[in-house]
Structure 1
Amino acid sequence: MKLVFLLFFFPVTLSVKHSLTILVTVSSGVKNIPDLVGVLLVDEVPVGRCDSIRDQAEATQDWMKKLVEDYPEHLERYTRGCLFIHNNYKAQIDILKKQLNQTGGVHILQNKEGCEWDDETGEINGFDQIGYDGEDFIKFDLKTLTWIAQKPEAVITKHKRDRDRPKIERLTSLLTQRYPEFLMKYLDYGKSFLMRTDHPSVSLLQKTPSSPVSCFATGFYPDRVMMFWRKDGEELHGDMELGEILPNHDGSFQMSVDLNLSSVTPEDWRRYECVFHLSGVKDDIITKLDKALIRTNWEFPAGPVIGGVVGLLLLAVCITGVFIWRRRNNGFKPANCFRLIIP
């Protein structure tokens, strides 16, 4: 009881971690898409990009465009980096293919590097991680200033990188000094966008009459949220599946939480509700489980026209999705739609 009393009168202040992340994907054996795509993200929001077709970095948010107008060296730096990485990583894929006795086929090399800054403690953590063919391969350890092989095949690469001390010194400076400086500047320019609070629209969706009911929230910002189903006011832990928080094209986010209704009688539906909580916002968004509110798609025919449009949309999304960093224990994971492009 004393602990509860103290927590009630002295609430805990949650710190916010800001991040700068550069994601690079280089592919081999994939036709009709750029073999390099790079994305710059601030607080998980894409603010710049480059690819091997244009070989020119570009800002994708209005506030970032204003920054590169004031500091054109930022755009020039990322353009040079894009060109260097393209040539260097294509060579790295060839080396890995020989090292792993791979001949032909589709191969993907991904790099995730940048830094995180805790706005309360001031702690800065840099990271540099490489994945190959959708799996963790090797990462840099700032504490020991050495590379860590994340699978046996990466040991050769680890030893080679550990011997290059000048490169390790440059990387350490980049992760602990240069990237944090960039992040502070970006947060200053983008604060009106990055520090905002956007409430979502919440819908109930169901694919078929026997499918789980999905509570889907989209358009919210920031991505510090909680979402769950509850019954009679109590949060559920079983019969529920929470999805990932995913980015929208406009910098907002989306997520969903599914509820399995196979063992729930129709008369008990009224006892369930979906709860969406946005950090820093007092009132939750509560959506009652009501059959009349569920949006479905099984009543609509998927004719040739609809099917063609959906097919084009899927292709566009999947081409982009190949290069989206997917998190699984902070590691690499192949984008699901990649299988739609490459059977």
Structure 2
Amino acid sequence: MTILVALVLLGLHSAAAVIHTLKKFFTASSQVPNFPEFVVVGMVNDVQIHHYDSNTMRKEPKQDWMNGITEDDPHYWERETQIFMGLQQEFKGNINILKKRFNQTGGVHIFQWMVCCEWDDETGEVDGFRQIGYDGEDVLSWDVKTNTWIAPKQQAVITKNSWNNDKERLAYYKNVLTQECPDWLKKFMKYGRSSLMRTELPSASLLQKTPSSPVSCFATGFYPDRVMMFWRKDGEELHENVELGEILPNHDGSFQMSVDLDLSSVTPEDWRRYECVFHLSGVKDDIITKLDKTAIQTNRDKSYGDFPLGAVIGPVVVLLLLVVSIAGYFIWKKNNNASDTS
């Protein structure tokens, strides 16, 4: 389901610095080989904090600092495990219901439920939503502002109408996403503050494959992954001839990204008017990289044009001619001897 694979949060510099998220992904599957029938993953600010699956039958922490929760609640992990074990049976039942709705009998099927709440630690504002998907497509979504369910698929209209008419259920959903979920998010932020609230600035550089290729502004080693990166000219952000790359993880838990600028129509005299801007969430000052031809790195050998190729090519050609001549002599000698003995 697309919305579960990638969630892009856009906003102003000031807004992006204070939004925190708690997401839970519930996945039930049918006839998927080598994969648990039920999996739950919890994430704070896109960092996985806990995991449960039907093979281990345990909810377990994925960050060391999550163990701190037992100091306030010694039975937290056992209680949550029992809850997820109950949900496991419920989700298996949901797959069977959807199979009937879609006139399906067997085969591989996946049912997903995502719950997300957001908290602005500066304004205190909270927001949230729920999304339900089946076999890679959205079937139901719930909006905290309207407190209603929407059914993109006709097969889910029956459920939508039933749930929207259940005022008690709607009130429960709203309370969870506006009260309970933000409260848990704040607790998790307290336990993992030193890790979740850390900021690591990147190293930035200019890269170019060939003289005619776009110039890439490359940043790596930053954390968190809530960043903005763009080219600007004379202080104004550029949108044309610019290609923004994806944010990718590094092996050490940090991130990298790049933004390319096509300079094919820019005169060398105008290069000084361009600069790359990197903004990291929670950091006041941006990293500015001026477009400077002398600072561009490339995988081409910069000394290639000045290297005395003639000094190498000449002897190489002579050597090749010598090898060919020697080989030709032995071939002629062999043929000549063969004709003498025939």
Normalising by structure 2, report the TM-score: 0.68
**Cα displacement (A) at 1:268:** 8.5
Matches within 5 A, 1:192-341: 192-202=194-204, 214-230=216-232, 235-245=237-247, 252-260=254-262, 263=264, 274-279=276-281, 280-286=283-289, 288=291, 293-294=297-298
**Cα displacement (A) at 1:113:** 0.8
Alignment RMSD: 3.5
**In the aligned structure 2, how far is the partner of 1:239 from the partner of 1:53?**
50
Letter in 2 for 1:256: S
**Which runs of 5 or more structure 1 residues have no equivalent in the other structure?**
1-11, 297-343
Matches within 5 A, 1:166-205: 166-202=168-204
The equivalent residue for 1:18 is 20
**Cα displacement (A) at 1:79:** 2.1
Q: Which of 49, 60, 63 pairs up with 1:47?
A: 49
**In the aligned structure 1, how far is the partner of 2:299 from the partner of 2:88?**
45
**Cα displacement (A) at 1:284:** 0.7
**Cα displacement (A) at 1:64:** 1.4
**Which runs of 5 or more structure 2 residues have no equivalent in the other structure?**
1-12, 301-342
The equivalent residue for 1:74 is 76
**Larger deviation, residues 125-134 vs 65-74:** 65-74
Letter in 2 for 1:135: E
> What per-residue deviation string (whole Å, max 9, x for no partner) do you get for residues 66-98 of structure 1?
223542333234323432333222221222122
> What per-residue deviation string (whole Å, max 9, x for no partner) do you get for residues 175-216 of structure 1?
222212211211222222222211124466789999766544
**Larger deviation, residues 108-117 vs 274-283:** 274-283
Q: Which of 35, 38, 53 pairs up with 1:36?
A: 38
Give percent identity, aligned residues only: 55
Checking the alignment, whether the CA contact within 8 Å between 1:269 and 1:289 is kept in structure 2 is no
**Cα displacement (A) at 1:22:** 0.9
**In the aligned structure 2, how far is the partner of 1:67 from the partner of 1:164?**
34
**In the aligned structure 1, how far is the partner of 2:114 from the partner of 2:104?**
24
Letter in 1 for 2:230: F
C-alpha spacing 1:204/1:66, structure 2 compared with 1 (3 Å): farther
Letter in 2 for 1:286: T
The equivalent residue for 1:60 is 62
Q: Which of 142, 147, 150 pairs up with 1:148?
A: 150
**Cα displacement (A) at 1:283:** 4.2
C-alpha spacing 1:140/1:252, structure 2 compared with 1 (3 Å): same
Checking the alignment, whether the CA contact within 8 Å between 1:93 and 1:109 is kept in structure 2 is yes
Larger Rg: 2
Checking the alignment, whether the CA contact within 8 Å between 2:202 and 2:220 is kept in structure 1 is yes
Matches within 5 A, 1:80-95: 80-95=82-97
Checking the alignment, whether the CA contact within 8 Å between 2:205 and 2:289 is kept in structure 1 is no
**Cα displacement (A) at 1:264:** 5.9
**Larger deviation, residues 136-145 vs 199-208:** 199-208
**Larger deviation, residues 30-39 vs 184-193:** 30-39
Is 2:122 the counterpart of 1:116?
no
The equivalent residue for 1:310 is none
> What per-residue deviation string (whole Å, max 9, x for no partner) do you get for residues 284-319 of structure 1?
1527576962469xxxxxxxxxxxxxxxxxxxxxxx
**In the aligned structure 2, how far is the partner of 1:232 from the partner of 1:139?**
43
**In the aligned structure 2, how far is the partner of 1:230 from the partner of 1:88?**
52
**In the aligned structure 2, how far is the partner of 1:13 from the partner of 1:292?**
31
Letter in 2 for 1:149: A
Secondary structure class of the residue paired with 2:75: helix
**Cα displacement (A) at 1:158:** 0.8
Letter in 2 for 1:116: E
Normalising by structure 1, report the TM-score: 0.68
**In the aligned structure 1, how far is the partner of 2:139 from the partner of 2:132?**
6
Secondary structure class of the residue paired with 1:57: strand
Letter in 1 for 2:200: D
C-alpha spacing 1:89/1:265, structure 2 compared with 1 (3 Å): same
Checking the alignment, whether the CA contact within 8 Å between 2:128 and 2:143 is kept in structure 1 is no
The equivalent residue for 1:107 is 109
**In the aligned structure 2, how far is the partner of 1:123 from the partner of 1:222?**
21
**Larger deviation, residues 19-28 vs 270-279:** 270-279
Letter in 1 for 2:68: K
Letter in 1 for 2:100: K
